[in-house]
Structure 1
Amino acid sequence: MKRSLTLLAVVIAVAAGTGYWYVQGKLPQRDGEVALAGLQAPVSVRYDDRGVPHIQARNEPDLYRALGYVHAQDRLFQMEIMRRLARGELAEILGSTLLPTDTLFRSLRIGEQAERMLARQDRQSPAWLALQAYLEGVNAWQASHPKPAEFDLLGIAPRPFTAEDTLSIAGYLAYSFAAAFRTEPALTYIRDRLGPEYLEIFDLGWQPDGALSTPLADADWRSLEHLARLSHEALGNAALPQFEGSNAWAVAGSRTRSGKPLLAGDPHISFAVPAVWYEAELSAPGFELYGYFQALNPFALLGHNRDFGWSLTMFQNDDVDLVAEQVNPQDPDQVRVDGQWRTLEKTTQRIAVKGEAPVSITLRRSPHGPVVNEVLGETAGPTPIAMWWAFLETENPILDGFHQLNRADTLDKMREAAAKIQAPGLNLVWANAQGDIGWWAAAQLPIRPDGVDPAFILDGSSAQADKLGFYPFSVNPQQENPASGYIVSANYQPPAVIPVPGYYNLPDRGRQLDRHLADPQVKWDTQNSQALQLDTATDYGPRTLAPLLGTLRTVAANDEERELVEQLAAWRGDYPLDSTSATLFNQFLYELAFAALHDELGDTWFPVLIGTRAIDAALPRLAANPDSPWWNLRGANERSDRQAIVRLAWQRSLAHLRDSMGKDPTRWQWGKAHTLTHNHPLGAKKPLHLLFNVGTFAAPGTHEVPNNLSAKIGPAPWPVNYGPSTRRLIDFADAGQALTINPVGQSGVPFDRHYDDQAEAYIEGRYHKARLGPIPAHSTLRLVPTAGAASGQ
C-alpha cells in the first residue's frame, strides 16, 4: 500500500507538472524582448493593470504590425472561429451539427462578396497597407508560438489569415444586424394566413397590393419557419456575438460641468468569451488612439483620444428584402422577373465535415439575389426565396471608412468617413475637444418603389422587389451641433426626410435617456453619466400594465393575489436585483403573449415571433385594445375575450413562479431569476464549461432599459444573452481619465489572469480608467526588428 500511495503521488505530481507546463506555454508574453520580422524600428508595448497594450511605434506600419502580433496572442482562437463562421467552415472543426450554419453562411455569399471587395482595394492606400501590416503581425505570432488550447482540443490546423478573412467578418457583422430573416416571414404569415386585422398590433396596415401573386404553399411556410429559426440560432450555436442594439449620447460643453463635450456609449451585443472588444492604445508620430477592436480588424470600431472620440449604435434600417420568386411551370430553374423567365445561376460548393465525408451543396441565385431557403435541403418549399442584401449590392469601402474615422477630429472629416460605411447601417455619435458634437446614420439607403412595404416578403414577379437606386448620404438622418446641446441614439426610428423602413427598437429606452439629458438643471459629468448608463427603469412595464390593472384586480383570487396586483400597480418599471414585481411582470408578459398568440401561431411561428423586435411594440398595443382578434382562442368552445386571457395568464404566472421559485412571493427576487453567464464556444459541452465559461452572476436591468441586460421573452428563469459590450465615458476636459469596463477580461486565453478579471466589476456597475499614455507599465514587451532587418537599416 505504501508503494502504491507513493506511485499515485508521483503520477499526480507528474500530471500536475505537465498541466502547469502546458498552461504556461499557452499564456501571452507581456514582458521581455521579441524579434518580429518586418519591423523597421523597435516598438514598445506597455501593459496596464487590465492587460491592455499601449503600443508606441516610430511609424504606422510598425504600429499595425505590433497590434496584429499582440492581438493574436490574446485572441487567436476568436479570430479563427469568427472567420470560420463568416466563411461557412465551422463543421470542419465542430462536426455535422454545424453543417446547417455553414450552409446558411455559404448561401449568403459572404465569401464571394469579400473577393469582390478585395479586388476593388487600392493596394497603395493607407488602409490597405495598415491591414497588410496587421495581418503580417497576426501570422507572425501564429507561426512562432504553440497553438491555443482550443486548437488542440478541436484539432485545428493553423493556416494564415488573409484580407479576405477580414472582409468576410465584415459580412458576418452585417448579417448579425439583419432582422429580416426572422421578422419578414413571421409578419407575412400573419398577413396571409390570419388576416389583416391581426396586423394592427404591429402598427402595419393591410395592403392588398402587397399580397404575393402566387400564394405560398404549406411547405413554403414550413421552410420559412425553419429558415427563421436557423438564422436566429446560427450565431448562438457557435457562441459568437450578435449585434442587438446600443446606447450612445454626446453632450455639448454648454451642458457639462467641465465646459467640454462629454461622450457616452455602450453597444449592446451578445455576451461571449472572449469578450467582443479588444482594447489597445496606438501611438505613432502624428497618430494616437485608444481603440476597441474586433477580431482581424486593425481599425477601431470605437475609439477616442484627447481631441475626439465616437461611439456607435445599430441604425437598424431594413437592408434585407426577402423575395418570393415565381417559378416557370415548364422549367424549375427559371423565375419570372420583369415579365421574362430568367434562368437561375448555379454554383456547387463542398463543405468539410469533421469525421465525415465532405458535403456538396448547390447554391442558386436569382436576379434579386441569392436563394436562401434551399439551404434547408429536402425540407425547402417549392418557392425559391431570394435575398436582396445591401451588403452584397453596395461598393461599401468600409476599410477606408474606418481608417478615416480613426483620424476624424473635425465635423467635415467625420462626415466624410461616415459616408463610406454603407453596410451594415450604423449610427455614429461623435464629439471633439473643440466643442462639436454630431450624429450620422451611416448606410446606403435603397430607393424602393412607392407603396412597397419591406416588412413583408416581396413578390419577385412584380416591381415590388425592384431597387431604383440609392439615396445620397446627405439626406440620411443626422445632426450636427443641435440647439438642444445633446444627441441621443438608442435604436429607435429616427426622424427622416426620406422613407427609412427598419426594425427599430421601442422608444422607451431612448425616452428614458432623453428625459434625463433634457433636464436643463443638470450639468453632466462622468459621475452622473455612470448612473444613467446603469439605470434599470423605463415606462415599458407600467404602460403595458396600465390598461390591464382593472382586469387584474377583478381576476385576483384572494388577498395575497390582490396585494401582488397592487404592488404591480405601484411598480415604477425598474429592475434592481431585489425587485419581486419585476419578476412577476416578466413572467406575466410571457404568459400573456403565449395565451393570446400561441393558438394562432402554434409551436412553429410563436417562438419565431417572440424572438423578433416586433413583439416588443405589439404587446403594449395588444394590452390596450380589448377588441383585438388575438384575444379569441381558436378552437375553444366559447368565444374568449381580454379578461379571460388575462385571467389565464395571471394564473399560469403564479403557478410557474410558485413551482420554480417557491410559494413565498417575497423570494421571487429578480437577481435569482435573471442571471448572466459568459459562454465560450467550447463551454456548451460538460465538463469544458467549468474551464471556459465565466459566471454565473445575478444580473440587474432587463430588455430595453438603459442597462440593457436582456433575456428572451419566456418563462423564468431568464439567462441574459446580450447587453452592454463595454461601457465608456469620456469627458474631453480630461480624456486621459476616461472610464471603461470589459464584461469579462482583455485576454481570451484560459487561465490567463486577464481572462475574467473584470467580470465581477462589470456586473456590479464599476468602471476602470482607459488611460492615455504615457502610463505606468505593469510590464513591457519590446518588439525589435530581426537581425537581418536591423543590419539593413
Structure 2
Amino acid sequence: MGIVFRWLVRITTGLILLALAAVALVYFLASQSLPDYDQTVEVSGASAPVEIIRDTANVPHILAENDPDVFFGLGYAHAQDRLWQMTVMRRTAQGRLSEIFGARTVHIDKLLRRLDLYGLAHRSVDAQDDYTKAALRAYAAGVNARLDEINEAALGRGAPEMFLFNAPVSPWQPGDSIAVIKLMGLQLSGHLEDEVLRARTSLMLNDPARLTDILPNVPGAGIAALPEYAALFPGLPRYARGTPMPDTPLSPFPKRGLAGASNAWTAAPSRSASGGTLLANDPHLGFTAPGVWYLARLELAKGGVIGATIPGVPAVMTGRSDRLGWGLTSSYLDDQDLHIERLNPENPEEYLTPDGFKKFRTRPSIIEIKDEAPITLTLRWTENGPVLPGSHYNLETITPPGHIASLSWTALSPRDTSMTASLALMNADNVREAIDVGELFISPSQNLSLVDKDTIGLKLIGAMPKRDLRNQSRGRIPTPGWLAENLWQGRLPYADNPEFVAPAGGILGNTNNKIIDRPFPLHVSYEWGDTQRVHRWERLMQSREVHTRDSFIEAQLDTVSFTARSLLPLIGADLWFTGASAPEGTPERQRQIALSLLAEWNGEMNEHLPEPLIYAAWLRALQIRLISDELGPLAAEYKHVEPLFIERVYRDIDGASVWCDVRQSAPSETCTDMARLALDDALIWIAENYGTALQSLRWGDAHQATHDHPVLGNVPVLRFFVNIRQSTSGGDNTLLRGRTTGEGRDPFQNVHGAGYRGVYDFADPDSSVFITATGQSGHFLSRYYDDQAQLWRRGEYIPMSLDLDLARAAAVGVTNLIPR
C-alpha cells in the first residue's frame, strides 16, 4: 500500500509540474508578442524619423516631418496593439475566414464573396485623391514594418491568437483599409433584413392593417399604404418557416435591432457657460474585446488631431483638432433595396430587365476550408447588384419559384471616396469646410455633428439613392426588379442631404431619431433607430439655459428611461393598488409587491435597483403574449420590445387593441388581462433565474456588459482571461444605451452600446475628455487590454490633450522609427 501511495504522489506531483511547465511555456510564447513601447527600430517605408509617444493611457502621439510618415506611424502603432483584430477584419472582408476557422464560418465567407466588398475596395483606391493615396500607401508600409519586425525578431507571431490559428499574414495593402470601412458599413446596415421581415410579416398577418402596429411608422407625416407583398408576388405561401443563419461572434452581419446607433449633441457659444462650442459623441456598436475603437493623436502639417480611430484605417473617425470637432451617429438612411428578379424559364442564366432578358455577370470563386475540401461558388450579379441565395436572410421565404433576389446598396460602389472624405475632414478648418468635404463620403451613411470655435452644424453624409416616385414599395419591401420604376436612378444631389447649421436655439443633436420630414423620395428613411431616447435628450437640453462639459457628460451617462415612464402608466392603468391582500408567497402577493415597486419608481435604469429588471421582464413577456398567436413562429424574430407597438395597442390607435385578444382561445381577452398575465409570466421567469425576493434584485446582474473575445471568448478557462464582463446601468431606450440581446437564456445581457465617448469644449480644448470601453491593446496579457474598462463602467474619462509636454511628462514609452 505504501508503494502505491508513493507512486500516486509521484505521478500527481509530476502531472502538476507538467501542467505548470505547460502554463509557463504558453505564457512565455504569448508574452513574446507584447510590444516594447520604449525602443528605437530601423524600418523600411518611412522617409524620415517617426516618434511615437505613449501617454499614461497608452494613447500614441505620433510625430513626423510630413503627413505620410505620420500615417506610417499610425499603421505601425495599430499593428503593435491590434494586429490580430486587423487581420481578422481583413479576412472577413475577403471572405477567407474558413481558411483558419473551418466550416463554422463558411456561411460568412459565402455572403462576403457574393458582395465582393474586398474587390470593390481595391478598385476604389484609384478613385482617391493624391493625398489619400499617399496616406494609404504610407499606412500600409507602417503595418508591414511591424510585420517585418515580428518576423525578424521572432516576436511571438505578433499576437497570441496566431499560435492557435496559425496562418500566414500577407502584407497590408492600401485597398485593405478601404475594405475595413466597407465592412463597417455592413455592420451598420439593417434595411435589408427589415425589408425581409416586413415582407414575411405581411404574408403572415390576416389583417394587412395590423402591419403598421407591429412595424410602426415613426411619428410624423404618414406615408401612403404599402401594397400587400402577396399581391406583388402571387402564389407565395402565407407563411414559410425560415432557416436562421448559424450564429458566431465572428459574423459581421448585425442582428435585427443591433445595427449601428449613437448619440451626439452640440451647443453654440450662446448656450455654453464657457462661451465656447461644445460637442459630445458616443457611437454605439456591438461589444467585443478588444473594442472597435483605438485612441490616437496625429500631428499633421495643419496641426494635431486626436480621437478614435479604427485599426486598419488611417483616420481619426471621431475626435477633434484645435480648430474643429466632429462626431458620428448612424443616419439610418435607406441605402439598401432588395429586388426579386425573374429568371428566364428557358435559360436560368438570364434574368428579366425592363429591356428584356439579360445574362448574369458571373465568375467562379473558390473558398478554402480548414480540414475540409474547398468549395466553388458561382458569383452572379445583375444590373441591380449581387445575387443573394435564399439561404441568407431567410430570402427563401419571400422568393417565388423561378425567381432570385438581388441587392442594391451604396456600399457596392467601385469608386468609393469615403476614405478621401475622412482624411479631408481631419484637415478642415471650420464647419462649412467639413460639410463640403462630406460630399465625397459614400458609405456607411452617417450624421456628421460638427463644431468649430463659433458655429455648430449637422450634415447627413453618404450617397442618398435616387428612387422613382412610382416605386411600388418606396424601399420598404422587396420589389420586382424587372420594372423600371423600382430601380435606382443614380444618386440624389448632395444638397438634398439634410443639413442644419447655426440653429436659432443654439443646440443640435441626434439619437438616431427622425431628423427630417420630407415626402418620398427625399424622405431619407422610413426606419429610424430611435423614437424614445430623443425625448429624454430634449428634456435634458432644454432644462438648462447654458451647458457645460460636465452637463454634456451627465447627458451621456443618463439612465432614466422615457419609455418606462410613458408605458408603465398605460399597461398598468387597471392594476395599480387593486385587489385584496394576498398571503406571503402567493402569485398575487408577488404581483402586488412588483406593482408597488414600479409605482414608486422614477424610470431610472440603475444597475443596483430591482425595478428595471421587473419592468424589462414584464414588457418582454407582454410583447410575446400580444404577438405569439398572430405571428406564430415568426414572433421569435421580434426580439426587442417595440415601444410604439405597445403604445398603439394600449391606446387602441386605429383598432390596435385587437392584439390583446387571443384568437385561438374562446374567451375575449382584454388588454388588462394581457398585462396581468404577462406580469405573472415575468415574475415566474425572474423567480426561476434570480429568486423570489423582488426587493433584492439587481438590474446589473442581468444587464452584464459582454465585451467578449470573438474567437477565444467561448474557450473553457481561457474565456475568464479574455472576456470583460461588467454590471451596467442603462437599457435599450436610455441615453446611456445598453442594448440587450433580446434572446437566449440571458435576454438582458448588454451587448451593444457606446464603445467610445468623447466630450470636447472649445473654450478650453485641452480640457476635452474621452474613453473607450476596454483598452488600447488587443493582447490579453497586456495591462492596457482592459485598463479603461472600469473607468468606462463608472462613467469616468481620460484627458484629450494636444499638449505634447503633457504627453511626454508621464509617457509609458517612446518609440523612435528610423528609416533604414
Length-normalised TM-score, structure 1: 0.92
1:756–1:677 Cα change, 3 Å? same
Paired residue type of 1:287? G
Paired residue type of 1:389? W
Percent identity over the alignment is: 26
Aligned: 1:414 with 2:434: yes
* Equivalenced residues, count: 776
Report what 1:790 is aligned to: none
Distance in 1, matches of 2:477 and 2:18, equals 65
1:632–1:328 Cα change, 3 Å? farther
Superposition pairs for residues 335-346 of structure 1, below 5 Å?
A: 335-338=351-354, 340-346=356-362
- By how many angstroms is 1:209 displaced? 7.5
- By how many angstroms is 1:260 displaced? 0.5
Contact 2:37 2:54 in 1 (8 A): yes
Distance in 2, matches of 1:771 and 1:304, equals 10
Report what 1:483 is aligned to: 504
Paired residue type of 1:385? A
Aligned: 1:353 with 2:358: no
Report what 1:26 is aligned to: 33
Uncovered stretches (5+) of structure 2, i.e. residues with no partner = 1-5, 218-223, 581-586
Report what 1:588 is aligned to: 618
Contact 1:274 1:745 in 2 (8 A): yes
Aligned: 1:197 with 2:209: yes
Report what 1:720 is aligned to: 750
- By how many angstroms is 1:154 displaced? 0.8
Aligned: 1:423 with 2:443: yes
Report what 1:127 is aligned to: 132
1:63–1:411 Cα change, 3 Å? same
Contact 1:368 1:465 in 2 (8 A): no
Aligned: 1:778 with 2:778: no
Aligned: 1:318 with 2:334: yes
Range moving further from structure 2, 270-279 or 452-461: 452-461
Paired residue type of 2:137? Q
1:144 is matched with which residue: 135, 145, 149? Answer: 149
SS in 1 for 2:316: coil
Report what 2:535 is aligned to: 511
Superposition pairs for residues 392-791 of structure 1, below 5 Å?
A: 392-393=412-413, 395-433=415-453, 435-450=454-469, 452=471, 453-497=474-518, 498-521=522-545, 523-553=546-576, 558-603=588-633, 605-610=634-639, 615-625=642-652, 627-628=655-656, 629-687=658-716, 689-690=718-719, 692-714=721-743, 718-774=748-804, 775=807, 776-787=809-820
Range moving further from structure 2, 242-251 or 747-756: 242-251
Uncovered stretches (5+) of structure 1, i.e. residues with no partner = 788-793
1:16–1:658 Cα change, 3 Å? closer
Paired residue type of 1:161? W
Report what 2:232 is aligned to: 213
Q: How far does the alpha carbon of each residue in 1:177-226 deviate from its partner, in whole angstroms, 9 at most, with x for none?
A: 2112321111112223313122131335643387653236349954xx44
1:514–1:621 Cα change, 3 Å? same
Q: How far does the alpha carbon of each residue in 1:567-597 deviate from its partner, in whole angstroms, 9 at most, with x for none?
A: 3234332201122221111111111111111
Paired residue type of 2:782? D
Contact 1:54 1:773 in 2 (8 A): no
Superposition pairs for residues 281-296 of structure 1, below 5 Å?
A: 281-296=297-312
Distance in 2, matches of 1:303 and 1:268, equals 15
Contact 2:121 2:416 in 1 (8 A): no
Paired residue type of 2:80? Q
Report what 1:81 is aligned to: 88
Report what 1:269 is aligned to: 285
- By how many angstroms is 1:691 displaced? 5.4
- By how many angstroms is 1:243 displaced? 4.9
Paired residue type of 2:378? T
Contact 1:260 1:731 in 2 (8 A): yes
1:621–1:532 Cα change, 3 Å? same
Superposition pairs for residues 89-104 of structure 1, below 5 Å?
A: 89-104=96-111
Contact 2:265 2:508 in 1 (8 A): yes
Q: How far does the alpha carbon of each residue in 1:698-726 deviate from its partner, in whole angstroms, 9 at most, with x for none?
A: 11001121100110335755211111111
Q: How far does the alpha carbon of each residue in 1:419-472 deviate from its partner, in whole angstroms, 9 at most, with x for none?
A: 111211101101112x11111011221222225321212222334422233221
Q: How far does the alpha carbon of each residue in 1:135-157 deviate from its partner, in whole angstroms, 9 at most, with x for none?
A: 10101101221311111101121
Length-normalised TM-score, structure 2: 0.89
- By how many angstroms is 1:375 displaced? 5.1
- By how many angstroms is 1:289 displaced? 0.6
1:164–1:153 Cα change, 3 Å? same
Contact 1:748 1:755 in 2 (8 A): yes
Distance in 2, matches of 1:181 and 1:238, equals 11
- By how many angstroms is 1:290 displaced? 0.6
Range moving further from structure 2, 623-632 or 55-64: 623-632
SS in 2 for 1:165: helix
Distance in 1, matches of 2:121 and 2:817, equals 33
- By how many angstroms is 1:336 displaced? 2.4
Report what 1:188 is aligned to: 199
1:89–1:622 Cα change, 3 Å? farther
